[in-house]
Structure 1
């Protein structure tokens, strides 16, 4: 068998046809995710402003993002179950309403406590978007398109990060805190209208089977989660997501701008341009990774581990470099960090073939917890260490290596078992496709 053969290249019985209508419907769902990412990352360009507005220190600032990610991570499995049971449109509707109200509340927060509550509400709505978009892709596109469709969704999400970095940052310093955040909340209203008018859960003729009466209640929910967790591919996907995503997330979501300004002595404008470079790199690498995995399914793990290794090198170099790092080094760091998001998407490519259609949302929810748990842990640790060491970024940023080591050890432990189970299922699916009655 050639290296280009993969489970994603097999047209399974009952695959949706894809096509222009699939692209149009899927694009509406992705637009919702695009807006959610703008709201999620808006604090990354407003961190120093938030310190002045709410009179807080580094630990309190990190609490904003930690609480938001805590809610996001905690919601992943419940959201996965909701998507499996209620469908994409209903869950996305709940999500848009929540994250729009959260962004609007953050705009007019007059106290630290009110701002925290708003970010928690935003995180709850944000949690409902990405898994829903992944499910929308599996309902509208053939399975062989899965890796590329997922990477494209991630790419559009990073475009939302780009809007935060380029547009919201300028609005913030041009029209002020309240006008910038309240104005951005109008995007949530826009995508809500588009979704209610045009979004459909699945194409005609591809309705999922009705949920059996036995598939209800707490017992079934526990069984659904347990069945997905027992799959080595689900757990491997979680640890791939855990290990690859969080360095760039921590850098973009909160600590990148303060590190570049306070530790590296750059202006805010130059630091913002470097954050933009991370986002642009992410978008380019996402397209490359999606194409590679669609053609060479076995490249998933080498790409993930290679990204982790490269990230560790570029993260360590500014830490050990005497004095402030040269600009070329910071440029390389930001380009490499751009690969973290696309690499984290590979986690879903391990979980997708491991779970049947009725468990896709649950499996994706488990995987999606990984990177956000790692990000949340690192955000907290960096904030605490900065306060404890008098803003020593060399010490604070070293915590990244601890989580990378943990994640790599789990990936290496699970990779053989997951590959064996996936091969067995690939053979079974090919046999089933050969014997489908005409």
Structure 2
């Protein structure tokens, strides 16, 4: 295909990665100002929790619909609109005068965010060949991890210097600018750089299957469920633990300061960046996504088992294990390499959304179940609750490992997905 041999694809890649980097930073940045928002708006922790959760509810609920729509109408406009919604939502958040505006602004951010990863995968799938695609997914993972890193010390320092409203306002304006950049790169200039070969095809009348038929086919595909379980185990356990109980675990079980516990979580983030860089390169050379992914899943599973078995691990061992768990999380994009190589191009979007939902559901369920376990042992010494709470990520990563074993590698077929339910 002309697109995949055109040097313009690297401009597309850079623009898409810039958008993804900044959008990921806004997933967790509001957590830096929770206390300030409660004070400024005189609202309770429960209301803040609702404002935070609405973003992720929108994200998870829209993954499959966005995949369906992007498969049918193309990914470019959805990525552009999603980035713009993210920017507008962030601007509204910075200008909010009432908690209802805060809630609506985070809803907009969640809707915008829901369009991003699915369409990043689809755009890379259009512009890059198989070997390049796998490696570049890893770089996309690095961009996401760096975005998360931006939402820690750097963003916190800016807020300390300038206040939270100017910082979020500036970020929103930049996101709106990036949306305009994406429109220029993906729509205007791309017509002269590799898009013409597809324009005629797009304009031809096409018969579209019913949405219910596509969904039924996906939900009956064992391969699709395998990718769902893989993402559930590899991504959700890392995000769910680091973002909720990681720091309290360090303080209550390892008996270190809040600062030291935060640094412990930072090693997990460093591991994720290293994993994103190295795993995709290794997998591309190995030539087998499944073997690489299984090795990662085994490593993550054994790391969580070790944290569970050793009730109070030495601090250096905890650093090493959190690094390994983060490193494995860096291999999460391999889920979408499997999707790309297995399913026909017209259904990559919906299966990508389905698999991505698995990681999000895990990230939501883990903190909840972990908290339930802690409540069960609230009369026991604090380390006992955390000990049994670690059974949750052990079980979740075991599910991911089972998903990895269920995967069947094959060349992408042009036949309908109906056959994919028989490939295992």
Query: TM range, normalised to the smaller chain?
Result: 0.7 to 0.9
Match of 1:335 among 316, 320, 323: 323
Determine the C-alpha separation between the residues in 1 that align with 2:335 and 2:100.
35
Asked if residue 40 in structure 1 is aligned to residue 27 in structure 2, the reply is yes
Computed over aligned residues only, the root mean square deviation of the Cα atoms, in angstroms, reads 3.2
CA distance in 2, matches of 1:264, 1:61: 29
C-alpha offsets along residues 64-116 of structure 1, whole Å, 9 cap, x if unaligned?
55433322121111111222222222101221122223323444556665544
User: How far is 1:128 from its partner?
Assistant: 0.6
Kept in 1: contact 2:80–2:180 (CA 8 A): no
Return the offset for 1:334: 2.8
The Cα shift of 1:56 comes to 4.2
Note if contact 2:79-2:116 (Cα within 8 Å) is conserved in structure 1: yes
State the match for 1:225 in structure 2. Answer: 215
* 8 Å Cα contact 1:70-1:373 kept in structure 2: no
Once structures 1 and 2 are overlaid, which stretch shifts more, 161-170 or 296-305?
296-305
Deviation at 1:266, TM superposition (A): 4.3
Q: Provide the C-alpha distance between the structure 2 equivalents of 1:261 and 1:164, rounded to a whole number of angstroms.
A: 22
2:396 matched residue in structure 1:
403
Partners of 1:50 and 1:327 in 2: CA distance: 34
TM-superposition CA deviations, 1:288-341 (whole Å, max 9, x none): 1101211221423423422332441354267x11xxx54313322331221243
User: Displacement, 1:375?
Assistant: 0.7
Identify the residue that residue 174 of structure 2 maps to in structure 1.
Answer: 187
Secondary structure in 1 aligned to 2:207?
A: coil
Partner of 2:114: 127
| Structure 2 residues without counterparts, runs of 5 or longer | 415-424
CA distance in 2, matches of 1:234, 1:220: 19
CA distance in 1 between partners of 2:65 and 2:256 (Å):
42
Paired residues, number: 401
Residue in structure 1 matched with residue 361 of structure 2 by the alignment: 373
Q: Secondary structure at the match of 1:182?
A: helix
Which runs of structure 2 are paired with 1:29-428 in the superposition (5 Å)? 29-46=16-33, 56-57=44-45, 63=50, 65-109=52-96, 114-200=101-187, 203-207=194-198, 209-210=201-202, 213=205, 215-216=207-208, 220-261=210-251, 264=254, 266-296=256-286, 297=288, 298-313=290-305, 315-316=307-308, 320-321=311-312, 326-385=314-373, 393-412=386-405, 414-415=406-407, 418-419=408-409, 422=410
Tell me the TM-score normalized by structure 1.
0.80
SS in 2 for 1:17: helix
Assess, with a 3 A threshold, how the Cα gap between structure 1 residues 271 and 194 changes in structure 2: closer, same or farther. Answer: farther
- The answer to whether the Cα contact below 8 Å between 1:237 and 1:346 also exists between their aligned partners in 2 is no
Q: Distance in 2 between matches of 1:131 and 1:73?
A: 12
Q: Which moved more, 1:363-372 or 1:259-268?
A: 259-268
Separation (CA, whole Å) in 2 of partners of 1:63 and 1:384: 19
Higher relative contact order (CA 8 A, sep 6+): 1
Distance 2:370 2:34 in 1: 14
CA distance in 1, matches of 2:175, 2:375: 36
| CA distance in structure 2 between the aligned counterparts of 1:398 and 1:68, rounded to whole angstroms | 28
**Worse-matched range after superposition: 33-42 or 391-400:** 391-400
Gaps of 5+ in 1: 1-13, 427-438
Contact between 1:44 and 1:253, CA under 8 Å: does it hold in 2? no
